Structure 1
Amino acid sequence: MAGPQPLMLHATSVAVDGRAAIIRGPSGSGKSALALQMIALGAELIADDQTCIHREGNDLIVDAPDTIRGRLEARGVGILNAPAAGPARAVLVVDLPPYGSTPNAPRLPPDETEDLLGVALPLVRGVDAGHFPAALHLYLKYGRSD
């Protein structure tokens, strides 16, 4: 019996030490901007705006379509060339709300997961706060204490 078919998501993905975050949200929500900030902190670009996802055993692997590999949109600047990391294992889904607004976000959010291709990944909801890119970078590098 064949496994789930690969997915193409309207999402940006970045990785730290081979551990990737899938950043989702509607157009204009700040996916590329968040990726730029994380890259400035040392993350690597996997894909901007379109992320390919496939399952290998119990892992989800993210990669870029060849047509956009190593390209990142910076609003007001244009399409930038960026070093492209190879495929990476997804460990986190980040959902950004429209236009970066998250009123009354909890300091310690409840544990949530998102199921993609039959694999449950932790889900973090984006907050409009200066620390958010650094917090995600640390999450990818070291995980979260539960």
Structure 2
Amino acid sequence: MILHAGLLAAHMDGAWRGVLIEGPSGSGKSDLALRALDHGFRLVADDRVALWACEGALYGRAPDTLAGLIEVRGLGVLREPALPFCRIALAVACEQHERMPEPAFKDYVGLSIPSLSLQALESSAPAKLRRALQHLGAWPDKAYLDALAVGVSPRPGGDSR
């Protein structure tokens, strides 16, 4: 499946965790990706993402023709060191968001992953991406998802007590 989206990754807990960034053209996906790169994220794909499922996990990569490229408005299409693929841990929709949203999930190729909305052009958006990934990584995936299902949320720093 090819999706109109971007894919970034952050290295946490010894592995790359991917953030799938969706939104309509002009919503700030590439702008957010550019700012996130300056905050330690790595590019996986810009504009189009090839998705697949493997052993119960969702993965993504850039189509061959777009690998290692990012569009920077006002500058054009630029080369950027990129990861060849990564496991996707979070989906982000570039749109208006609630102050205290309920836990949400989105389905891709038969798999459900945590999802959130944010305004891509907010200066805090890259920090919110990192915090969301850290929050997801605070507990093993199943324990985190089970806790969300019953309305429990880990405290800052990942302390589950």
Q: Shorter-chain TM-score category? A: 0.7 to 0.9
Tell me: higher relative CO, structure 1 or 2? Use CA pairs within 8 A at least 6 residues apart.
Answer: 1
Alpha-carbon separation, structure 1, partners of 2:107 and 2:66: 26
Shift of 1:50: 0.4
Listed one character per residue, the Cα deviations across residues 65-104 of structure 1 (whole Å, up to 9, x for unaligned) are 111111000001111110011210001111113xxxx2xx
Alpha-carbon separation, structure 2, partners of 1:110 and 1:138: 16
* Matching of residues 90-101 of structure 1 within 5 Å: 90-97=88-95
* RMSD of Structure 2 on Structure 1 (CA): 1.3
| Corresponding residue of 1:107 | 99
Percentage identity across paired residues of the two chains: 35
Listed one character per residue, the Cα deviations across residues 6-25 of structure 1 (whole Å, up to 9, x for unaligned) are x1000000000111011011
Kindly name which structure, 1 or 2, has the bigger radius of gyration based on alpha carbons. 2
- Whether 2:13 is the aligned partner of 1:15: answer no
Alpha-carbon separation, structure 2, partners of 1:13 and 1:143: 19
Give the gaps of 5 or more residues in structure 1.
1-6
With the length of structure 1 as denominator, give the TM-score of the two structures.
0.85
Give the gaps of 5 or more residues in structure 2.
139-152, 154-161
Q: 1:143 aligns with which of 121, 135, 138?
A: 135
| Corresponding residue of 2:53 | 55
Shift of 1:36: 0.5
What is the identity, as a one-letter code, of the residue corresponding to 1:79? Answer: V
Alpha-carbon separation, structure 2, partners of 1:106 and 1:138: 17
With the length of structure 2 as denominator, give the TM-score of the two structures.
0.78
Alpha-carbon separation, structure 1, partners of 2:81 and 2:132: 22
Alpha-carbon separation, structure 2, partners of 1:44 and 1:138: 16
Shift of 1:106: 2.7
* Matching of residues 1-146 of structure 1 within 5 Å: 7-17=1-11, 18-97=16-95, 102=96, 105-127=97-119, 128-140=121-133, 142-144=134-136, 146=153
Which of structure 1's runs of 4+ aligned residues deviate more than 6 A? none
What is the identity, as a one-letter code, of the residue corresponding to 1:122? Answer: P
Count of residues paired in the alignment: 133
